[in-house]
Amino acid sequence: MKPILITFLTVITLFFNPDSSFGHVYDMVNSASGVESSMMLPVMGLTSNYALFSTNGSVTNSGITFITGDIGTNVGQAIGFNFLNVKGIIHPAQDITTTMCKNDLLTLYNSLNLMVPTVEIPNPAQFGHNFILTPLTYHLNAATILTDTLFINALGDPNAVFVIQISGALTTTANSRVILMNGAQSKNVFWKIDGAITLNNNSIFRGVVVNNGAIVLKASVLLDGAAFTTDGAISVASSSVISPFAKLTAAIENVESQNPDIELFVALNPFGTFTTINLKDDSKFINCNFSIYNTVGVEVMSSIVTKQVITLDTSMLHAGVYFYRLSDKNKIIQSGKLISQK
């Protein structure tokens, strides 16, 4: 522990007294060298389906915006999005899934809020400027301005987790960049912010944003991640949001639109403690495999379809969104989305 503290104090000294060879670089690689991150990923729950979600506020768009992931709000409306430019579901108003997502978002916010910071970053108004962050929990104690470039360095570990806690608003300057290095993934970078967030024009921002204020994405912003607020509106203008979790479910997306010969339907859906698989009367796929997956692609239930109608005990499945797949000899025949509402 002593070498880490010594190095960190050295870095702080250099930050306040930089010479021409260091140039305001706040490098956490040195302070964390030889230290493996032990942080666990916080539980996402139903939030992993969403690219944009507000518990209490509207979600609006102006201009040509592209979204990968669901869009929704539990209070207000989600409007202005062109469904042709959204690879996901638009929830225009409160429904059962937005209600469940509201609860999961609160759990996610609380878990991030309870994490004990490893490093206190000074001068929040001077955040960025080629700072390098390694897998730790960071805290900035006031409104923060991200300028120029911030590097997120996983040190070769693709499972490395980063948490940045900000006690105040976050603003990025125009053309600012968050760059992932050495295996870092946006799905493992979490920004817990107590205040509003403004991503200014042409910003490239990466990670999962969780805050309790308004979120504004101005023109030509790229958010490689997701934006969630427990209390505030979300406003997007001609930008792109790509949820890293949406990529994980690509292999089990709904293919019914590609196959006009629907072999089965599932009822009840949404379901509670049970649901049924109903094959069409002349189906050739008796003895095929029916599997259910969670939102990160992990199989949670599997059954051989031995007759036209089968009742499944789903009581062990938690509330949330799932995907099903009917397959024969590893060939996907049909797939779709299921919702557990327990």
From the number of C-beta atoms within 10 Å of its C-beta (0-12, 13-18, 19+), residue 115 rates as middle
pLDDT digits (tens, 9 = 90+) for 255-271: 343 444 567 778 777 78
Name the pLDDT band for 282 (thresholds 50, 70, 90): low
140 and 258 together in one domain: no
Same domain, 242 and 254: no
The H-or-E segment that residue 180 falls in is: strand 177-181
Q: Which of 6-10, 77-81, 146-150 has the lowest mean pLDDT?
A: 6-10
63 and 207 in one domain?
Answer: yes
- pLDDT mean over 94-105: 91
Structural domain ending residue among the three candidates 232, 247, 262: 247
194 and 75 fall within a common domain: yes
Position 105 scores a pLDDT of 97
For the record, the structure tokens of 11 come out as 């870095």
Asked whether 91 and 37 are in contact (CB, 8 A), the reply is no
Same domain, 150 and 294: no
What pLDDT digit, counting tens, does each position of 158-183 carry?
A: 999 999 999 999 999 999 999 999 99
Work out the average pLDDT over 315-330: 82
Give 20's contacts (C-beta < 8 A, 6+ positions apart).
none
d(CA 220, CA 204): 9
> Residue 306 has what DSSP assignment?
-
Taking residues 27-49, what's their average pLDDT? 66
Q: Are residues 219 and 316 in the same domain?
A: no
- Cβ atoms of 126 and 145 closer than 8 Å: yes
Co-location of 84 and 168 in the same domain: yes
- Higher pLDDT pick, 290 / 197: 197
- As a whole number of angstroms, the distance between CA 208 and CA 204 comes to 13
**121 pLDDT higher than 70:** yes
Mean of all residue pLDDT scores within the chain: 83
**Which band of pLDDT confidence, cut at 50, 70 and 90, is reported for residue 136?**
very high
Domain that holds residue 189: 2-247
Which residue in 243, 257, 338 sits closest to 293, CA to CA?
Answer: 338
Number of H helices, E strands in the chain: 4, 30
Domain co-membership, 83 together with 147: yes
Distance CA 112, CA 125 (A): 22
The length of the chain is: 342
Give residue 202's pLDDT band: very low, low, confident or very high (50, 70, 90). Answer: very high
pLDDT of residue 141: 97
pLDDT at site 24: 41
**CATH number of residue 280's parent domain:** 2.60.40.10
277: Cβ contacts below 8 Å, ≥ 6 apart: 264, 266, 290, 303, 305, 309, 310, 312
Choosing from 247, 279, 314, the residue where a domain stops is: 247
In angstroms, rounded to a whole number, what is the distance separating the alpha carbons of residues 13 and 85? Answer: 48
Q: Do residues 255 and 158 both lie within one domain?
A: no
Q: Same domain, yes or no, for 229 and 268?
A: no
Domain final position from 209, 227, 247: 247
Average pLDDT over residues 311-323: 84
Note whether 60 and 130 are same-domain residues: yes
Share of the chain above pLDDT 70, in %: 83
The CA distance from 134 to 37, in Å, is: 9
Number of domains in the chain: 2
Q: Is a pLDDT exceeding 60 seen at residue 12?
A: no
Q: What is the mean pLDDT of residues 179-202?
A: 96
Report pTM. 0.68
**For residue 42, is the peptide bond before it cis, meaning its omega torsion is within 30 degrees of 0?**
no
Question: Of 249 and 59, which is predicted with more confidence?
Answer: 59
Identify the pLDDT of residue 324: 86
Per-residue model confidence as pLDDT tens digits over 46-99? 899 999 999 999 999 999 999 999 999 999 999 999 988 888 889 999 988 899
User: Are 138 and 151 within one domain?
Assistant: yes
CB 145 within 8 A of CB 120: no
